[in-house]
Amino acid sequence: MSLILNIETATKNCSVSLSNHGEVINCIEIAEQGYSHAEKLHVFIEQVLLESNVQFSDLEAIAVSQGPGSYTGLRIGISAAKGLCYSLDIPLIAIDTLEVLARQLQISEGYIIPMIDARRMEVYSAVFDSQYLKIRNIQAEIITENSFSEYGGIVHFVGDSTEKCKVILTQSNFIFEDDIVFPSANQMSQLSFQKYQKGDTVDVAYFEPYYLKDFMTTTPKK
């Protein structure tokens, strides 16, 4: 067996799945208006294993969504993954959050642009083709009426930024997939297994979330 625990906490979706040879055995997730990752993540991990009749000692690796996304969400997920890897002495696998989001949509041609909200009119985005090959790297960008206009053919948008972007991105070849909002640990299973087979892991001691932008704090108003 190649049992891998997959953790996705980069957005409001707190998602955990257990997979074997790239196939999902069980997945538990919840997306709430506020972030509940600190309260739910460890409960979900224990529940996924219990329902699957799997012990922590049976796990071969832990996979975690590396970002970009919520600073708090990423930190919670990666801290949990690191702790498990340390205690179980198993490898840590890092998965591109935007690819996880893109893989919820299957198309025969055109492009998939996953977008994660970065407040106001800014998003984290990348561009994938129909085979999930990344043809433009991840960027933090402010959306304008000219954004993504260089891509011909049908362009599919997924993620939690579609509502605010569809008002500006009005080209006839743009399609907004409103049903696909958050990345899920379900789509991590094949990616994590492929990386596990190749030995594509990260250093547990030094791995950090891919924030894309520097963390900024604000002074609370009195």
Determine the average pLDDT of the residues in 88-99. Answer: 98
Model confidence pLDDT, tens digit, residues 125-174: 999 999 999 999 999 999 999 999 999 999 999 999 999 999 999 999 99
Q: How confident is the model at residue 220 (pLDDT cuts 50, 70, 90)?
A: very low
How many percent of the chain have pLDDT more than 90? 90
What pLDDT is stored for residue 217 in this prediction? Answer: 40
CA 169-173-179 angle, to 5 degrees, is: 70
What pLDDT is stored for residue 214 in this prediction? Answer: 53
Model confidence pLDDT, tens digit, residues 104-120: 999 999 999 999 999 88
Examine the pLDDT at 221 and tell me if it is beyond 90: no
Read off the DSSP letter of residue 79: H
- Give the Å distances, CA to CA, from 93 to 7, 11, 63: 10, 19, 4
CA–CA distance, 69 with 31 (Å, rounded to integer): 14
Read off the DSSP letter of residue 199: T
**Six-digit token pair at 136?**
């433009």
Model confidence pLDDT, tens digit, residues 33-70: 777 899 999 999 999 999 999 999 999 999 999 999 99
CA–CA distance, 4 with 21 (Å, rounded to integer): 8
Determine the average pLDDT of the residues in 178-188. Answer: 97
What pLDDT is stored for residue 54 in this prediction? Answer: 97
The answer to whether the pTM exceeds 0.75 is yes
What pLDDT is stored for residue 36 in this prediction? Answer: 82
Element (H, E) at 18: strand 13-20
Examine the pLDDT at 218 and tell me if it is beyond 50: no
